[in-house]
Amino acid sequence: MTIALDGKTICSTTQMASYGNPLHIISAQLSELGITLAQKTVDGKSNEIPAVQNLLEELNIKGTIVVADALNCQKETAGIIVDGGGDYLLCVKDNHPTLKQDIEDYIQDSKLQATMEKFSKTEKNRGRIETRTAFVTTDIEWLEQRKDWKNLCCIGAIHTEFETKKGRSSEWHYYISSCPLTPEQLLHHARMEWAVETMHWLLDVHFEEDWCRIEDRNIQQSLNMFRKFALNLIKLYKSETGSKKALSKIMFDCLLDSSNIIRILHHYFSFKES
């Protein structure tokens, strides 16, 4: 299982005098199920790193892969994950320029790249063709920084190519992990990081969270939890029933007929009992 962590600022609070700093909420999501496990509120994105570390210490992450964006690619965070019995997969960007450059130089060397495990996957969606190619290796004895990252044993990259009517584009992302991943696993777990960002998008699209003008901080936090709980219920219902309906359609059906809410709750409590 993958636990993805990411933060979201409730944009309406950036312009409200009652908030000294914008309300920023960190979420931990069990990505394969699309279920939010826990959250922590901080004053502004600048406090996200220690909040993520505190949240990880409070969660049972044993046996999971923890994924996070480049902001949370931190040595202390990696250590907390390993100490908690989990493994990390962290995206490396310019906040660790030397590490990123070393990994990039290795992977962009055609001879070295040919020695790496490789796997590609192509998907078509709404007129866009997206091909993601993953490269991984556990041959990292040459990497000086490996001793600074607890249990670091694998590096990898994902090259994403986009093809639309407007043309082609591509991008590279580089990763470090404490788990000897296959390229298929790298593609899967890296994709799971996007799941928590999708959840944040759903909060804005279906609940218009960024337009919420409530000035009381506790109520804002409570509403954020209720919205996530509602999404958890609906996603669990879709998973258990195999429903092909969009989340918005299920929510609209509940609005028109309250018996649909009872049906969704029934699946939730049946799942808990099992």
pLDDT tens-digit profile of 150-191?
A: 999 999 999 999 998 888 899 999 999 999 999 999 999 999
Where do we find the tokens 């949240």? 55
Domain termination residue (choose one: 158, 185, 211): 211
Mean pLDDT across the chain? 90
d(CA 186, CA 175): 9
Q: Are residues 252 and 183 in the same domain?
A: no
* Mean pLDDT, residues 55-60: 94
pLDDT of residue 102: 97
Domain that holds residue 255: 220-274
Residue 101: how many CA atoms within 13 Å on its side-chain side?
5
Q: Are residues 22 and 155 in the same domain?
A: yes
* Mean pLDDT, residues 17-34: 83
d(CA 220, CA 32): 27
Range name among 16-25, 98-107, 192-201 with the lowest pLDDT average: 16-25
pLDDT of residue 141: 95
d(CA 269, CA 265): 6
Q: Are residues 190 and 130 in the same domain?
A: yes
Q: Are residues 155 and 22 in the same domain?
A: yes
Q: Are residues 20 and 86 in the same domain?
A: yes
Q: Are residues 15 and 61 in the same domain?
A: yes
Where do we find the tokens 């660790």? 96
* Mean pLDDT, residues 116-121: 96
Q: Are residues 149 and 78 in the same domain?
A: yes
More confident residue, 141 or 124: 141
pLDDT of residue 81: 98
The total of structural domains in the chain comes to 2
Q: Are residues 171 and 247 in the same domain?
A: no
Q: Which of 216, 220, 217, 195 is nearest to 207 (CA)?
A: 220
d(CA 120, CA 129): 13
Q: What is the pLDDT of residues 71-115, one digit of tens each?
A: 999 999 999 999 999 999 999 999 999 999 999 999 999 999 999
pTM, two decimals, is: 0.84
Domain termination residue (choose one: 189, 211, 233): 211
